[in-house]
Amino acid sequence: MAVRRVMVTGASGLLGSAVVAALSRDTDVLPLAGRHARGGQRGVDLADPRQVAALGDDSWDALVHCAAFRSPDYCEQNHDAALRLNAGAPVELARLARARGAPMIHISTDYVFPGTHPLYREDAPRQAVNFYGETKVRAEEGIEAEYPAATILRIGALYGVPSPEVGSPMMEEALDAVYATGVQELDDRVVRCPAWVGDVAETIRFLLGAGAGGIVHASAGETCTRYGWTQLVAAALGLSAAHLRPTDRDLSRPARRPVNSQLAVDRLRRLGGPIPRDAREVLVELAPRLRRA
């Protein structure tokens, strides 16, 4: 079916705002946001089933669901809220999409895996090691039962260019460390595959027209720890990383992290979709927009 209007949840967030920008080039977009809704976005509380159900009265023929609590530490300490938004709302939205036969892309995470045996393919057993990952496992299972034709897109860590309207915690933390004057101790144990949010938005744009269905992985291929990531940012900016120090000690965060949950992207490659680029390549392009005065 030809997509005329796409409903995008989480439109005020890092990924959602990039998806809105990418899709707006060739289709009409209905951007939904929560309490951080700004100009042109409709404020909807997806934790309220009545407000979700009311979306069935709107005019849209495709859905990209980006909204979620993404902080593992927040989810570990707020189980009820995390379950409602991360696990309950996606199934209710899948029900709405199924009722009108609309393509749906649900954004999931590499944190559905334990991080002990990468690379993880789409059919690898789900086994989360923190509550955030558990909520996403429940969402995936609920969507598969409710609307098997939906696409579940698993992604890893995302970064963007921070702005007053849209933050990018991974980038902001790296920039704070790079520009700091004292020694900065950074995790050198947990491995991620940082992907540029604009690249992931283009993958979503492709999948919306591909009609693939099922689970798809999108990930950059370059792995790095938080220490390695911050070194890459410093190198792209032409700044010293001599004050950065690696550590593998427990940083005492509420939620446990998978050590390495890198995703295999074989299916996306077979579909002919765009693979997110490695950070080393992208950061060189972004450097002029990242420099601080």
Catalytic positions, please?
132
Neighbours of 72 (CB within 10 A): 23
Sign of the torsion angle spanned by Cα atoms 247, 135, 84, 95: positive
Angle separating helix axes 89-100 and 131-146, nearest 10 degrees: 20
With CA atoms as reference, report the closest residue to 269 among 104, 53, 51, 122.
Answer: 122
Structure tokens at 278: 């490695």
- Measured CA to CA in angstroms, residue 205 lies from 18, 33, 105, 110, 280 at distances of 11, 19, 10, 20, 24
Distance CA 85, CA 45 (A): 9
C-beta neighbour count of 278 within 10 angstroms = 18
Q: What percentage of the chain's residues is helix, strand, coil (to nearest 5)?
A: 40, 15, 40
| Alpha carbon 141 to its chain's center | 18
| Beta pairing partners, 196 | 159
Radius of gyration for the alpha carbons in the chain, expressed in angstroms and rounded: 19
Q: How many CB atoms lie within 10 A of CB 229?
A: 25
The alpha carbon of 64 is separated from its chain's Cα centroid by a whole number of angstroms, namely 12
Q: What is the Cα–Cα distance from 238 to 211, expressed in whole angstroms?
A: 43
Calculate ∠ Cα 150-127-125, nearest 5°. 60
Beta strands 62-65 and 5-9: pairing type?
Answer: parallel
